A and B are shown apart, each in its own frame.
Chain A
Amino acid sequence: MINIFTALHCEAKPVIEYFGLKRHQDINGFQFFSNGLINLLITGTGPINAAIGVTSLCSVHNPDSGDILVNIGICGTDNPDLKKGALILCNKIVDLSTYKTYYPDMLFKHSFIEGTVTTSPVPVINKCEGSKAESGIAVTDMEASGVFHSGALFFQPHQMFFFKIVSDYKTGEQLSQEKVSELVAVNAAPVFNWVTQIHNRLPDKQDIFSVEEKSLLKQTSEALKLTVSMQHQLNQVMLYHKVQYGSFTIELKQFLVENLKEPCKSKNEGKKYFEKLKKRFV
């Protein structure tokens, strides 16, 4: 699942259209769109709204190790070299209220410009009092730190991506909703082609044992009258065997047929067979 967070509807609109998302009602208090593979939630502006939005979605749709978080939206900058519409992938997020810094992992190859985003709880016009100068490419937004702070409860740092699109030069210029949508629309394809490529390669969390294996392990531990501690040992022995040789079901069934035509009568008898089993499978 790719979980996308934007602050405004006009930022979300091009993404909704890009993926063909439909409105759903399952997240109270937020506009939520999905197509079953892609979720998009509009958080509202500011880091607190952003954090609440991320928590709300992720508490209902609990993410997995194969899932991704994307925060995309407009930003301001002092840097005249960055043209309107320039796309920045953030490698550092600074919260202007707390000066706490957040670092998404930068593991994946890309062709975007990287930079630092400073998140302010209020719109920044010109230089903000107390802000520290960030070296290199620097932009300002109102959500990234909130998204990261909350996202880190559900995602690992390599699963989170923060894209900012330059919309203004912090002069107080008012942008129309159509203009904002236009800026995001231009960047939607490069961002989401890249994100989808990564999403397709991230491994999903898998159960250690299949249903059949679990059932066979249960049958074995009952037949051997194993204690809880010995059941853990049995699981570890079989997991080792599976990792080493690919499977254990055929061999374990064979062991049960050869040694335990009837279940053990006592724990002592079970212990004896359990030692035999360990020798065979380790």
Chain B
Amino acid sequence: MKSLKRDLYNRAFSHIYVERDIINHPNTVKILSRFPKSGIIEINHYKDVFSRSNQSFSMQKKSPSLILAKKNDNFLYKGAPVCQDFGNNHFYYTTLVMNCIYDCEYCFLQGMYSSANIVVFVNIEDYFEQVEKILQNHPVYLCLSYDTDLLALEQKLGFVQEWTSFAERHSGLTIEVRTKSSNFKAIENLKPSENVILAWTLSPETVQKSFEHNTPPLRQRITCIKKAIDKGFRVRICFDPIIYSKDWLSSFNELVDITFTRIPADRVIDVGLGVFRISRDYLKRMRKNRPDSAITQYPYEYDNGVYHYGRKLSDSIISSACGIISKYMPYEKIYIWKEAEG
């Protein structure tokens, strides 16, 4: 299959669409220099490409293009109820990049966006300015990598480095970079800081192999986490989303054992835990995009706009998972995603 793909499809980012207005922006120039063989196509606005009607997310995933654009507003968003806030009052997330180089069958991005192409907003200085304004009023807890995997793109974009430097200069700011990457090289030159959290999502090997396409294997991620901890980074581990199958419990047990045998639990700041859940509109699109996926086609229960495994099953999964993790981590360090009340 791999050779068929090589024959037919262009490599990822063979084409880069660049908004005319930012063609000379320093980040555009820097990013383009890292793709010397790619064809450049000038565009007026990223939505002319990204938001075209009737695109095939699954076909574009086979050869995604890069779109370099300028973000003009909405630099920060208040955290949505479906996001974990890890006990932080002023919880925000930001969209520096839309879409991800990985291809996870459960990912909400394939339900949220009509395109699998990756949009990078190069005007990072405008984000910084907005954060500084909010910091004048209160501290900010900011998730940088919700709609993408920023660390997986670090060697091409260098955004994590820019944000960690920015965080270092702003003590009221805490940033979280969530990732599945195992590329330690991307962070080995970064300076660990108290207000930077690297959060790794881990899934059982069976889930990674079957559903998290193009992602690094579990053991490589764990090796990378260990190196990050040894270097002094604050690390969070996210077992989220847990995907149900008949043998989920034994796979999850094995995952937690492998993780905390290799990684000293007392050096992990906390653990996030959540069961797969997805909004109705997203699942509808995901089922269309991936008709042959056991994750999209599971007969979920529905209430309040969200599809889930059903209260009874979800509670039982969380309770069992929590019990397994608690062998290594105290309960107060386990953050469980719960639906917003009302």
Query: Are B65 and A236 touching (Cβ within 8 A)?
Result: no
Query: Are B60 and A243 touching (Cβ within 8 A)?
Result: no
Query: Are A244 and B294 touching (Cβ within 8 A)?
Result: yes
Given contacts A91-B15, A157-B55, A278-B299, contact A105 B41 (CB under 8 A): no
Query: Are A105 and B60 touching (Cβ within 8 A)?
Result: yes
Q: In the complex, what residues of A have CB within 8 A of residue B292's CB?
A: 243
Q: In the complex, what residues of A have CB within 8 A of residue B89's CB?
A: none
**Which of B4-12, B73-81, B141-149 is the contact stretch?**
B4-12
Tally of B interface residues using CB under 8 Å: 33
Query: Are B7 and A109 touching (Cβ within 8 A)?
Result: yes
Query: Are B53 and A152 touching (Cβ within 8 A)?
Result: yes
Given contacts A103-B48, A107-B10, contact A156 B299 (CB under 8 A): no
Q: In the complex, what residues of B have CB within 8 A of residue A239's CB?
A: 297
- Which residue of chain A lies nearest to B10 when distances are taken between CB atoms in the complex? A109
* B43 close to A (CB within 8 Å): yes
Q: In the complex, what residues of B have CB within 8 A of residue A91's CB?
A: 15, 39, 41
Q: In the complex, what residues of A have CB within 8 A of residue B55's CB?
A: 105, 156-158
Name A74-132 residues within 8 Å CB distance of B: 91-92, 101, 103, 105-109, 114, 116
Query: Are A240 and B297 touching (Cβ within 8 A)?
Result: yes
- Which residue of chain A lies nearest to B50 when distances are taken between CB atoms in the complex? A103
Give chain A nearest CB distance to B315 CB in angstroms: 17
Give chain A nearest CB distance to B50 CB in angstroms: 10
In Å, the complex CA distance between A103 and B297 comes to 32
In Å, the complex CA distance between A114 and B15 comes to 11
Q: In the complex, what residues of A have CB within 8 A of residue B49's CB?
A: 103
Name B4-55 residues within 8 Å CB distance of A: 4, 7-10, 14-15, 17, 39-44, 48-49, 52-55
Query: Are A105 and B59 touching (Cβ within 8 A)?
Result: yes
Query: Are B54 and A156 touching (Cβ within 8 A)?
Result: yes
Interface residue from A103, A236, A243, A244 paired with B41 (Cβ < 8 Å)? A103
* A208 close to B (CB within 8 Å): yes
Tally of A interface residues using CB under 8 Å: 33
Residues of B within 8 A of A (CB): 4, 7-10, 14-15, 17, 39-44, 48-49, 52-56, 59-60, 62-63, 65, 291-294, 297-299
- Which residue of chain B lies nearest to A158 when distances are taken between CB atoms in the complex? B59
In Å, the complex CA distance between A108 and B7 comes to 9
Query: Are A240 and B62 touching (Cβ within 8 A)?
Result: no
In Å, the complex CA distance between A101 and B40 comes to 16
Query: Are B53 and A107 touching (Cβ within 8 A)?
Result: no
18 A–B contact pairs at CB < 8 A? A65-B56, A103-B48, A105-B56, A106-B14, A107-B62, A114-B39, A152-B52, A152-B53, A155-B54, A156-B59, A198-B8, A236-B297, A240-B294, A240-B299, A243-B292, A243-B293, A282-B298, A282-B299
Given contacts A101-B43, A108-B8, A108-B10, contact A240 B298 (CB under 8 A): yes
In Å, the complex CA distance between A152 and B292 comes to 25
